[in-house]
Structure 1
Amino acid sequence: MFRFLLTRFGLLLVALEVTSVLIFLTLRVLPGDVAQVIGGTTATPEQLAAIRAGLGLDDPLVLQYLHWIGGVLRLDLGTSLLTGVPVADELVQKMQVTVPLALLSLAIALLVALPLGVIAAVRRHHPDGGVLGVLGQLFAAVPAVWAGMMFIAVFALGLGLFPAQGFPLDGWARPWRAFHSLMLPALTIGVVEGAVLLRFVRSATLTALGQDHVRTAAAKGMTRTRALVTHGLPSVGLSIVSVLGLQVAGLIVGAVVIEQLFALPGLGRMLVSDVGNRDLPKVQSTILVLTALVLVVGTVVDVVHRLIDPRQREIGS
């Protein structure tokens, strides 16, 4: 097990290093000039050159990268070129919106996928099981932006149950108001991601129903549902754990898009604004943190899967 953990940790570090290089080089290809943003349209070429020199933008790319990644290794994510505020401070502030949104979306996705996926598999030969399967396919294909607009039209503008946009200026000082403003965007992401997860749960449940020990339990007098719950759901849980690692990436991407639609002051809106302003240190550090989060969750899922699945430990040994 120690060798496996060491290998996974090494692969995580390699992936982070490769990712940091790709992020750094990709952002340098984008058009635009942060010196022009800072200096304004009236800045002379000499003034723009002075701004670039002061920000270190004239340094060779290798030196710029080493300066940035060296700071990251010291847990210093840099400073915004436009505001002068440490990037870490702004990330912490924006994550107070994005992280609760992602967690709430994940909870809704699980509440949608787990029971409905099992029901769709157990009752696959009945009309209600077929309807659930079709609805899962339908909602999985719906773009999150379109679903968000429909939810705004129905639940916000139509029924008035949730605010259409915005987040309280005082943040979580009033928890219920902040939670209430996140419910509709979380419902948007959760339903779409839940429909995707529902298909995996249905497939895993069908596989479990066909396993020998489940069929044997049913042949000995158990109902099919009880045999599934007693002997089949552990294997379904293993499949779900594996898929959840992939779902985290979908939740983060969904949050970035949905924050724009619902005017939430999270990482998504900040990224879009900073890319337009060419605030490179802030953009590259933010993307690296999000990518690292996805990679770490994937690594944790692999470790958990190995711990709870004896077959994985036998293969490793």
Structure 2
Amino acid sequence: MSPVLALILKRIGIGVVLILAISALLFLGVEALPGDFAQNFLGQAATPEAVANIRRELGLDQPVMLRYLDWLGGVVIGDFGESWANGSSVSEQLGKRLANTLFLAAVAAVFAVPISVGLGVLAVFYRNRLPDRIINILSLAAISMPEFFVGYLFIFFFALQFGIGDGPPIIPDPRASVWENVQLVFLPAMTLVVVVIAHMMRMTRAAILNIMESAYVETAELKGLSMLRIIWKHAAPNAVAPIINVVALNLAYLVVGVVVVEVIFAYPGMGQYFVDAVTVRDIPVVQACGIVFAAVYIILNMLADVGAILANPRLRHPK
């Protein structure tokens, strides 16, 4: 077996083990939360008999390990059970919400990735000069602002002052064009862009600067090559692996970290669904959202590891 294939299979195996471990921690952690769904659901009418009946209907009278294995078996085939709050299929609702969240994250990524990588290269080209300092100051300011603050700023300036995005809750329409749907999610997508662009830009700059200290870059400078050619032809390709990792990490954040942004803009995605489920203690929905968030995060990081392996010429062409 080739070293590249062995490393890729090892990363995939580690990812599968992590997802299984997180599923166990998630299930047991939710089980350990104080309170009881049956008691909260019945309210003042919660007699011991009524509570016992609901617990029996929901299977809460079964041992924890048996319920975990039953839940995990359903997760493997895509069946997350039924919502305790309204009896609807969690898988069906989750599919709709996940599609909305992925669309929002994709729109944000389309803007954030090229802008951040471009600004990182530009900062390296003008290193220690005015453009580099301006980019660093703006990136530090963006990192310092939490997403809820950025979201409220956008609502104040764009929605209240200019009437952009001041309509009802945003629901992407599959019958509309891509551009029309992008306009619908403009404010939450731009909020996510501001949140992640600074980190990606700074990591891109650091990765390229680290390569610029190499001996072969100094040789290229002594040969009289222009700085732009050195960065584009020699430094940037060798900085692909760390750039892939930071981009994947931020793409994972775009999917997993949208909870606050979706709540602020009343966006019908996974984050809003998760918060609503926590409010009413709808355990199947909480567990389903948690395992999907964890799986997306682990899978994107696993893909970043695989991409970094494939981008390494020493692994692609072993001696």
Using structure 1 for the length normalisation, give the TM-score.
0.92
- Letter of the 1:311 counterpart: R
- Give the counterpart of 2:231 among 208, 228, 231: 228
- Give the counterpart of 1:106 among 105, 109, 116: 109
What's the counterpart of residue 77 of structure 2? 74
Q: Deviations over 1:10-67 (max 9, x none)?
A: 2122111110110001111223322234434324221121111111111111111111
What's the counterpart of residue 52 of structure 1? 55
What's the counterpart of residue 208 of structure 1? 211
Deviation at 1:92, TM superposition (A): 0.8
Describe the shift of the 1:165–1:236 C-alpha distance in structure 2 as closer, same or farther (beyond 3 A).
farther
Q: Contact between 1:242 and 1:301, CA under 8 Å: does it hold in 2?
A: yes
- Letter of the 1:140 counterpart: I
- Letter of the 2:184 counterpart: S
- Letter of the 1:189 counterpart: L
Distance 1:127 1:296 in 2: 39
- Letter of the 1:191 counterpart: V
What's the counterpart of residue 173 of structure 1? 175
- Give the counterpart of 1:295 among 286, 298, 301: 298
Q: Contact between 2:108 and 2:189, CA under 8 Å: does it hold in 1?
A: yes
Deviation at 1:126, TM superposition (A): 1.6
Q: Deviations over 1:287-313 (max 9, x none)?
A: 111111111111111111111211345
Deviation at 1:111, TM superposition (A): 3.0
Deviation at 1:238, TM superposition (A): 2.2
Q: Which residues of structure 1 form unaligned runs of 5+?
A: none
Q: Contact between 1:112 and 1:191, CA under 8 Å: does it hold in 2?
A: no
Distance 2:51 2:236 in 1: 64
- Letter of the 1:247 counterpart: N
Distance 2:45 2:315 in 1: 64
Q: Contact between 1:208 and 1:228, CA under 8 Å: does it hold in 2?
A: no
Q: Which moved more, 1:110-119 or 1:29-38?
A: 29-38
- Letter of the 1:273 counterpart: D
What's the counterpart of residue 241 of structure 2? 238
Q: Contact between 2:240 and 2:308, CA under 8 Å: does it hold in 1?
A: no
What's the counterpart of residue 95 of structure 2? 92
What's the counterpart of residue 219 of structure 1? 222
Q: Contact between 2:241 and 2:307, CA under 8 Å: does it hold in 1?
A: no
Using structure 2 for the length normalisation, give the TM-score.
0.92
Distance 2:306 2:191 in 1: 30
Q: Which residues of structure 2 form unaligned runs of 5+?
A: none
Q: Secondary structure at the match of 2:127?
A: coil
What's the counterpart of residue 134 of structure 1? 137
- Letter of the 1:66 counterpart: L
Deviation at 1:76, TM superposition (A): 1.8
Q: Percent identity?
A: 34
Q: Secondary structure at the match of 2:174?
A: helix
What's the counterpart of residue 309 of structure 1? 312
Distance 1:41 1:164 in 2: 39
Q: Contact between 1:91 and 1:267, CA under 8 Å: does it hold in 2?
A: yes
Q: Contact between 2:309 and 2:315, CA under 8 Å: does it hold in 1?
A: yes
Residue 4, structure 1, aligned to residue 7, structure 2: yes
Q: Contact between 1:218 and 1:224, CA under 8 Å: does it hold in 2?
A: yes
Residue 149, structure 1, aligned to residue 126, structure 2: no
Q: Deviations over 1:108-154 (max 9, x none)?
A: 22133111111112212221211111111121121011011111111
Deviation at 1:177, TM superposition (A): 4.3
- Give the counterpart of 2:161 among 154, 158, 163: 158
- Letter of the 2:152 counterpart: M
Distance 1:140 1:286 in 2: 27
Q: Secondary structure at the match of 1:41?
A: helix
Aligned pair count?
Answer: 315
- Give the counterpart of 1:257 among 260, 263, 274: 260
Describe the shift of the 1:123–1:21 C-alpha distance in structure 2 as closer, same or farther (beyond 3 A).
same
Distance 1:45 1:10 in 2: 46
- Letter of the 1:269 counterpart: Q
What's the counterpart of residue 190 of structure 1? 193
